[in-house]
A and B are shown apart, each in its own frame.
Chain A
Amino acid sequence: MDNLINPNIKRLVLIVDDEFVNREMLGFIIKRDYNVIFAKNGQEALEQIKKHKNLLSIVLLDLMMPIMDGFKVLQELKKDEELSRIPVIVLTSEKDAEIESLKLGAVDFINKPYDMPEVILARVRRSIDLSESYTMIENISRDELTGLLTKEFFFQYCERLDKYYSEKKMDAIVFTISHLDLIIEINGRSYGTEILKKIANAIKGLLIKTVGTACRHSDTFYLYIEHKNDKQELLNNFMDELNSLFDNSRSRLICGITQNVDKKIDVSKRFEKAMMACSSLYNNFSDSIGFYDAGFNQKEMFVENLVSDVKTSFENNSFIVYYQPKYDISGSRPRLSSAEALIRWNHPRFGMVTPRSFIPLLEENGLVSGLDYFVWNEVASQIRRWRDQYNIIIPVSVNISRIDIYKPDFENNFLKLINTNGLKPSDLMLEFNESAYTGNAEQIVKVIESLRSKGFFIEIDNFGSGYSSFNMLSDLPKDALKLDIELIRNIAKDEKNLRKVELLMKVVDYLNVPVVAEGVETEEQCQLLKKLKCNIIQGFYFSKPLPPEEFKLLIEKELKSRENERE
C-alpha cells in the first residue's frame, strides 16, 4: 500500500495541548516531517478539525485540558461519521487514561514525558499509513451509493464468514429489480437511486443481530445470511413492503434463494443458483420469491440441451414459422387482412417447445438474432409463394428483438430480403416492442425512422403495457399500434380494464393510427373492440397460429368470399 501513497506530500498534523512547552516541543519534533497546526483546548481542537477535515491526517491530543478535555473531543469525533475517520493519538502519562481513550476510538498513545522523537515520528507515521490504507480499502470495498459492500469484496467476505462460522447454516439470496431502466426512464434517475437506497437500508435491517453480509451490483443485491427456519415470513413481509415502492406494474423486486448452501461449492456458484431461481420469476407476476431446488437442476439440463441444439435445429428444419391471421372487422364480414409470423420449435427430444420457454434463453445466450433472421427470411419467401400461387399479398408481421436494432446490417438485411423475393417494403410489417424504446431511444427512433422512410410498415407491440409515456408514444415513428395482450384478456371480465382500453383508444384516435388487438378469444371481446373502433383482430376467436399448409386454406376461403361479393 505504501507505493500507492505519495510519500512526498507533507501531511497535516494537529497538536492539541494546553501546555505551551508541550505544544512547542512536540511541534518541533513533528515539524521535521509534517505540517503542523495547534490548538490549546478541546473546543479549539474541534474547530480546527472541522475546518481542516479534508486535509488533516492525524490529531495528537492531550487529555487534561481546560474548557473541553480530550475525552470529550474523542466522544464528539466518534459521533460524526466523517470526523471519526481522522485518527487520533492520545498524549498522556496516565495508564488508566490509555485504556479509556482506546475505547473511545484513539488509535494509539504517546507517553509523557515524551519518548524518543524517532519513536514518536514512527508511531505517527504508522498511524497515518494504517488509517490511509484503511480508508482506501473502505472506499473501494464499499458501494458509495448504498454503503453495502462491492461484489468483489462481498465474495471474499462470505468466505471469511464461512471460516469464522463454519458450523452455521447459511442462505444465499439474490434480490433484483426487474426493469430498473423503466423506472429511471419514467420517474428519473434520482427516483431510481432512491429506490436502490431504500432496498439497501431494508437489507441492512435484515442483517441486524445475525451473521451475514450484503452487497449491491447494479440493480441486484446479494445477501449472505444465517439460515433461520422462520425466514419465509420475514422475507414475505420484506418483499411486500419494498414492492409497495413500485407504482409501475412491470417493475418490481424479485428474489431468489439457495437455502442452507453447500459450503463445498464456490461462493459465486451458490449465488448463481439463487440468481437462477430469481430469473425464473421475471415473467411470473404472481410470485416474488423463488427457491432454488432440485427442479432447477433438471431445468438447467433442459436449458443446456436447448441452447446446444439451436444450430442443428436450423439445419434439420425443426424451427417452423406459423402464421396467425389478422381480420379486419370494420365491414359487414371479417376480411383476412394480414398475419403475424410466430416461431415454433419441434425439438427432436422435447417435442413442441413454446416460444415462451426458449426465446428468453436464446436472448440470454446471444442466439436470438439468428432465429429472427431465419424467421424474416422464411416469411419473405412465404409472402412471395402466396403471391405466386394466389395472386394475393398477405402482409406479415415479424418480431424484431431489441438486440437486432443495434446490428450494423439491420436495415440492409430487410432491403436484401425484399429485393431477393421481389416484394414491396410494405409487405413486411416490423413489430417493435413498446419496451424497446425505453433504452437508447434516440438511436432506436433513428433506425426505425429510416426503415419507415423506405416504406416498411412499423407496428408498436404491447401498446398500453406501461412502458411508454404519452409523450414518448407521440414521437415514435409508427403505422399501427398493437394493444397489449393482457388488456384484451381482461377486457370483458373487468370494468377497469375496459375503461383503460377506452382511454387508450382515445389516445390512439389522437395519434391517428390503426389499432390491432391480439389475443382475442371470444365473440364478446370482439364486439367490445369493434364498438371501440379497434378493427383489426388477431386471436383464437378467428384462428390459432397455423403452419403454412393450413394457413393457405384461410386464403382460399378469403378469395372465395371476395369472389362471391363481386358476384
Chain B
Amino acid sequence: MAIVEFKEVSRVYRNGDHEQRALDRVNLQLEEGKFIVILGPSGAGKSTLLNLLGGLDNPTEGTIMVKGRDISTLSANELADYRAASVGFVFQSYNLIPTLTVIENVALVKEIAPKPLSSHDMLKAVGLADHIHQFPSELSGGEQQRVSIARALAKNPDILLCDEPTGALDSETGVVVLKLLLSMAREMGKTIIIVTHNQNIAKMADVVIRVKNGKIQSCEEQANPMSVDEVDW
C-alpha cells in the first residue's frame, strides 16, 4: 500500500524575474514500512522533496498524498499538526536542546505529538537507557544522533525522514545508526526515507530513488538489499 504519493508535484522558487524549478512534475509512490534511500547530487532537489514530504513547505503545483490525505494545500498550522502526528525528522546535525537532559529532549515531543510513545522505551530502543539524565554535551556524536532518532520515534510517526543522518559520524558510528534505522523499518514497520550522497547506503535500501535536476531519474526496488554488515563502508 502506498503511504506517500506525489502527483505532478513541482516546486518553483521565484526571486524577482529569476525562476528556479527545484522539483519538476514529480510523480512518486512509496510503500509503507520500506527503507527508502533518495540519492542525488547537490541541488538535485532531494531536500525540496524532503521539505514537501515533511510538511515544511507547500508545492507550487501538484498534490502530495500521505496516507490518503492531501497535504499539499494545508495551512501553516495544519502542517504543524501534520508534522506533530505523522513525520519524524533526523538531520546530520543532531539539533538537541542543550539545556535539556537526554530524557527531557525526547519527552519534549510528548507535549506536541497526539499519540507519543514512552520516552524511556525509545531511549532503550536506541541503546541509551543508561544516559537519560545526561546533557547532550556529555554525549558522543553517535549518541547524540541516537537521541535525535529516539526523539523522532517518540512522536510515533508513520514516516521517518532522515537528511544525511550519518554525515557527521565516523563510519563505525554511522553503521550503528543505520542499523538502528533499518530495525525501525523492519521491526516497527516505520517508513524510513533517507536522503544522502552516500551510494553505499543505497545498497541496503528496499527502494532507491535517484533525483537529478528536479526530476526523478529512477526509482528501483531492490529485491535483496544487503545487510548493514555486508556493505563495505
Genuine A/B complex: no
List chain B positions with a Cβ less than 8 A from chain A.
Answer: none
List chain A positions with a Cβ less than 8 A from chain B.
Answer: none
